[in-house]
Amino acid sequence: MSRILEGPEGIALGVRRLSEALPVAFPTETVYGLGADALNPDAVAAVFALKRRPASNPLIVHVSGIAMARGVVKMWNDQADAIARAHWPGPVTIVLKKHDSIPGVVCAGGETVAVRCPAHPVALALIEAFGGPIVGPSANPSGRISPTCPEHVADGFSEHDLIVIDGGACHAGIESTVIDLTGDTACILRRGVLGIETLSNTLGGTKVIDRTRDLSQGCDSEPARSPGLIGAHYQPRTPCRLASTDEALGCENARIALIAWSTKEHPASGQIFPLSDSAHEYAAGLYRVMHMADACGADEIWIELPPIGAATEPNERAVFEAVLERLARATQSG
């Protein structure tokens, strides 16, 4: 049975579990992660097994800062240094050639590793107390809704002896932006709350290419360099679909749970789970209300398309685009 622990007790037991090659759930600013010693292939394999995660889906390595990051990559370049100094700790993951110390299982057999420094005091305390890098895929069964509070993790792994370190609600709410810096041109592999324009500015105006559409269509023949690119993700157990604002406001079935930003009342007096029309608040609350809607016993969930057209700032639009990518995967079949 999963147990939720707070503060020093949680961190101390978490470190002990990590040292014993056992998974530990921990908070980050994006979502809760399922941690294990990144340098121990058996520990990493235990995370894959617990999540029932495909071996072709790589993991992100979490570090306490630049110094630790240098130890997990083959070469720490100027672009990585610029992004890390500007945005770490924070929701951006950097892909570089991996160091030989990183087991192949972490990287889906590829030659690159995804690394980031999370902006959460509990995560940083855990990594520093453990004294080494830890992997941290989302702490949920593979393909299901990502967890943004400790209760989500405990519910997802209720039948397992898992320690969940309580760090409250995640304030970013969706997974980190992933940027690949291994080639001549920087490439976005997964969208997040840090958009292309922000990262381009960080790199002195250097062009950054968005490869997310190519990758989602299966155009990349190499091993995956980022998590979240393979198949359906972020899915509730309840059948789920996207709805336009007109469809949401015209819903006539009370057995449909409605996740909406344009109204706080269900048109058919069913259950509604409101979201903000602010990009960052929408992202922060999305997985939380998806969990709530999934647990309410509805026949179907409708999610109103986010108001991306109303975004006036580039970074607001970037957040909504990242949210829309999650929703597309949450509602796809197969």
pLDDT at 218: 46
pLDDT (tens digit, 9 = 90+) per residue, 260-302?
999 999 999 999 999 999 999 999 999 999 999 999 999 999 9
Is the Cα torsion angle 74, 78, 83, 84 positive or negative in sign? positive
Lowest mean pLDDT among 211-215, 253-257, 320-324: 211-215
**Residues 62 and 175 grouped into a single domain:** yes
pLDDT at 220: 43
**Residues 169 and 265 grouped into a single domain:** no
pLDDT at 331: 93
Q: Is residue 301 part of a domain?
A: yes
pLDDT (tens digit, 9 = 90+) per residue, 180-232?
999 999 999 999 999 999 999 999 999 999 998 776 544 444 567 777 676 67
The residue ranking higher by pLDDT, 44 or 314, is 44
Q: Is residue 161 part of a domain?
A: yes
Is residue 102 predicted with pLDDT exceeding 50? yes
**Contact yes or no for 310/220 (Cβ under 8 A):** no
> 183 Cβ partners below 8 Å, 6+ apart?
none
**Residues 143 and 203 grouped into a single domain:** yes
- As given in the structure block, the two tokens for residue 248 are 């949401």
Last residue of a domain, one of 184, 216, 248: 216
pLDDT at 333: 67
Q: Is residue 227 part of a domain?
A: no
Is residue 239 predicted with pLDDT exceeding 80? yes
The parent domain of residue 71 ranges over 3-216
| Residue 52 half-sphere exposure toward CB, CA atoms < 13 A | 8
Mean pLDDT score, 20-44: 98
CATH number for the domain that contains residue 308? 3.40.50
How many residues are listed for the chain in this entry? Answer: 334
Find, among 334, 151, 149, the residue nearest to 235 by Cα: 334
Percent of residues, the chain, with pLDDT higher than 90: 90
Q: Is residue 182 part of a domain?
A: yes
**Residues 128 and 266 grouped into a single domain:** no
Is residue 315 predicted with pLDDT exceeding 60? yes
Last residue of a domain, one of 176, 200, 216: 216
**Residues 264 and 137 grouped into a single domain:** no
pLDDT at 154: 97
pLDDT at 99: 98
How is residue 98 annotated by DSSP? B
Last residue of a domain, one of 216, 232, 263: 216
Mean pLDDT score, 79-102: 98
Q: Is residue 233 part of a domain?
A: no
**Residues 105 and 201 grouped into a single domain:** yes
| Straight-line distance from the first to the last Cα atom of the chain, in angstroms, rounded to the nearest whole number | 30
**Residues 211 and 310 grouped into a single domain:** no
Among all chains, which residue has been given the structure tokens 């991306």?
308
Q: Is residue 269 part of a domain?
A: yes
Mean pLDDT score, 134-141: 97
Segment holding 3, helix H or strand E: strand 3-5
Find, among 177, 154, 175, the residue nearest to 164 by Cα: 154
- As given in the structure block, the two tokens for residue 119 are 């902006």
**Alpha-carbon 7 to chain mean position:** 23
**Residues 119 and 257 grouped into a single domain:** no
**Contact yes or no for 92/191 (Cβ under 8 A):** no
**Residues 60 and 160 grouped into a single domain:** yes
Query: 180 forms bridges with which residues in the sheet?
Result: 95, 187
Residue 3's CB: how many other CB atoms inside 10 A? 12
Distance CA 113, CA 98 (A): 5
Mean pLDDT score, 145-166: 97
Q: Is residue 229 part of a domain?
A: no
**Residues 252 and 163 grouped into a single domain:** no
Q: Is residue 157 part of a domain?
A: yes
pLDDT at 40: 98
**Residues 125 and 202 grouped into a single domain:** yes
CATH number for the domain that contains residue 108? 3.90.870.10
Chain mean pLDDT for the chain: 94
How many structural domains comprise the chain?
A: 2
Mean pLDDT score, 2-11: 94
How is residue 29 annotated by DSSP? S
Is residue 36 predicted with pLDDT exceeding 60? yes
- As given in the structure block, the two tokens for residue 191 are 């969208």
**Residues 112 and 64 grouped into a single domain:** yes
How is residue 244 annotated by DSSP? -
pLDDT at 222: 58
**Contact yes or no for 4/154 (Cβ under 8 A):** yes
